Amino acid sequence: MAQVHTQAAVIDHTAPGGEYEREPVPDRALLGFKSFVGQYAGEHTAGTELMIGPLFVAAGVSAFDLVAGLLIGNLLAVLSWTFVTAPIATRARLTLYYQLEKICGRQLVTLYNLANGVMFCFLAGSMVTVSATALGVWFGFPMPALNDLYPNSLGWVLAVLSIGALIAIVAAYGYEFVARVANLAAPWLVLVFLAFGFVGLREFMNATGADMRSAADFWHLAETAIWKGGEPLPGQVKFTIWHVLFFAWFCNMAMHIGMSDLTVFRYARRSWYGIASAAGMYLGHFLAWIAASILYALQLHQQPGNTSVLPGPLAYSAVGLTGVLCVIVAGWTTANPTIYRAGLAFQAIFPRSSRYRVTLATGMLAAVAGMFPAVAMRLLDFVALYGMILMPMGAVVFVDFWLLPRLGLRSYFAERAGIRFNWAAGLTWGVTLGVCTWLVLSGRTQIFFVSLPGWFIAALLYIALSLWYQRAHRPAR
């Protein structure tokens, strides 16, 4: 899933002192279509894909629901990037943070940074968890089970802390080195993920005695042995086609509908470059998820009592040491920019602190979060929560850019009125989150679906509150 941007892009364009942070990207700096294809293909084949695929199987998904849900959900994600994010990005050509500052004011953006930084920390923690499972293959310490919330062995704690500390130090001091490793590893990672699928499929054929001479044979095996549907594993939510579809659509909600990728697409010559996101969706969020889920289904077929979702041992059983390396590299190279970005978000709150110290502290926070398997083992829920928390600000940006001028209201109101906290945007965020949380906690809808009505609630609220707020705080002309 992942969630974070390609390492080189982060360095060049969003780091402090980087390019065009507080001005529109000029024509001479625009990038071609291929840059975006490579970026999306690389960033969405991450360590967390090795958790998400198996969790679908644990959720009792059937073959048709999985394949159809992923095809449609990923298409909706690509369309969201193309028709929601990129058109604003290629017109305003600003980073999300600068655009939000113009709309919301400095203080509200600081709050947004805090929320973003905390979510990035937990996400990086789950990536550290994934990498630590690879160490378990070598050292053989007890690792967490599917429903574990807390660390279950000293070996696990030491492994996560060691890997987390290493990642934190590298994120602070050797970021560019890992960025180069990440770009170097990207094509290899995609192929190793495919290898998981091919090897897992053959092992399934060996284990079941199935013969596969046609697509129909594959489908029969898929329906009867790999993604059988039925009841989920204990403690898991049952996934239908709707769950898969909405999960695939919303797992990167913070990036498309939440508008984080304004920062990426402000470099695009044309808004249709948004379709480049299809490279990431259909390699990472289709093939990689399917491949990882095949490995986990094989584990359940061979050892029905072993429900642990441990990417390290899963990858090792399929392709040996190459698999273990894949888990370490995929977890490390994606945790690295996540920690870096979380550090940037926190540094914006404490601008006088050293970036190195903030990044180190952020990395250690992520390592502590990674010790608790609850985040990784509940990654489907966490990713949905992450999207829900950042989604209202995406609606604010969308309405502010397209609708407010048509309603006789002013875009970029905080900048024009010279205010530091735009209450129309702040209340929109808070009330939307309150309503969404109530909808989920009262059992009216599940967290996987709530962001869809949530976006419309946020959009309508922002219009209504702006009508009131802009009349009460007219800027001098």
Which residues of the chain form contacts with another protein (CB under 8 A)? 180, 183-185, 187-188, 191-192, 194-195, 197-199, 201-202, 319-322, 325
Look at the block and give the residue holding tokens 């204990």: 234
Q: How far is the CB of 295 from another protein (least distance, A)?
A: 12
What residue type is 148 in one-letter code? D
Scored b (16 or more CB within 10 A) or e, 66-86 reads: bbebbebbbbebbbbbbebbb
Within its chain, how far is the Cα of 473 from the centroid?
A: 37
CA distances from 65 to 57, 187, 194, 279 (A): 11, 29, 21, 22
- In the bound state with another protein, the residue whose beta carbon lies nearer, of 108 and 201, is 201
CA-wise closest residue to 7 among 262, 186, 258, 265: 186
Shortest reach from residue 191's CB to another protein, in Å: 4
CB of 311 to another protein, least distance (A): 17
Taking a C-beta distance cutoff of 8 angstroms, is the pair 183, 9 a contact? no
Query: Is the sign of the CA dihedral 8, 393, 50, 278 positive or negative?
Result: negative
Task: Give the nearer residue to another protein in terms of CB position, either 215 or 472.
Answer: 215
167-113-97 Cα angle (round to 5): 110
Residue 139: phi, psi to the nearest 5?
-95, -15
Are residues 76 and 249 in contact, defined by beta-carbon separation less than 8 angstroms? yes
Instruction: Find the shortest distance in angstroms from Cβ 128 to another protein.
Output: 22
Nearest to another protein of 11, 157 (CB atom):
11
Q: Which residue has the tokens 């970021």?
A: 175
Kindly tell me which of 198 and 356 has the beta carbon lying closer to another protein. Answer: 198
Nearer to another protein (CB atom), residue 173 or residue 198: 198
Smallest gap, in angstroms, from Cβ of residue 317 to another protein?
A: 10
Cα separations in angstroms, 195 against 55, 60, 191, 303, 311: 19, 24, 6, 22, 14
Residue carrying the six token digits 């994600």? 77
Q: Which residue number, 156 or 175, has a Cβ lying nearer to another protein? A: 175
Q: Which CB atom, from 264 or from 294, has the smaller least distance to another protein?
A: 294
With respect to another protein, which residue has the nearer C-beta, 194 or 237? Answer: 194
CB of 265 to another protein, least distance (A): 23
CB of 400 to another protein, least distance (A): 39
Are 296 and 203 spatial neighbours (Cβ–Cβ below 8 Å)?
Answer: no
Q: Which H or E run includes 197?
A: helix 175-208
Minimum distance from CB of 73 to another protein (Å)?
26
Query: In the complex, what is the shortest distance from the CB of residue 138 to another protein, in angstroms, rounded to a whole number?
Result: 15
In whole angstroms, the minimum distance from the beta carbon of 50 to another protein comes to: 16
**Within the chain, what is the greatest distance between any pair of CA atoms?**
78
Smaller CB distance to another protein: residue 79 or 195? 195
Listing DSSP states for 28-44 in one string gives GG-B-HHHHHHHHHHHT
Identity of the residue, 303 or 354, whose beta carbon is nearer to another protein in the bound complex: 303
Q: Which of 10, 7, 464, 469 minimizes the C-alpha distance to 263?
A: 10
Q: Which is nearer to another protein, 214 or 442 (CB)?
A: 214
**Nearer to another protein by C-beta: 174 or 320?**
320
- CA–CA distance, 150 with 133 (Å, rounded to integer): 15
Look at the chain and count its residues.
Answer: 477
Residues with Cβ within 8 Å of residue 320, at least 6 apart in sequence: none
Q: Write the CB contacts of 15 (distance below 8 Å, at least 6 apart in sequence).
A: 344
CB of 323 to another protein, least distance (A): 8
Question: Three-state DSSP class for 473?
Answer: coil
| Inter-residue contact 151 to 160 (CB < 8 Å) | yes
Residue 322 CB, nearest distance to another protein (Å)? 4
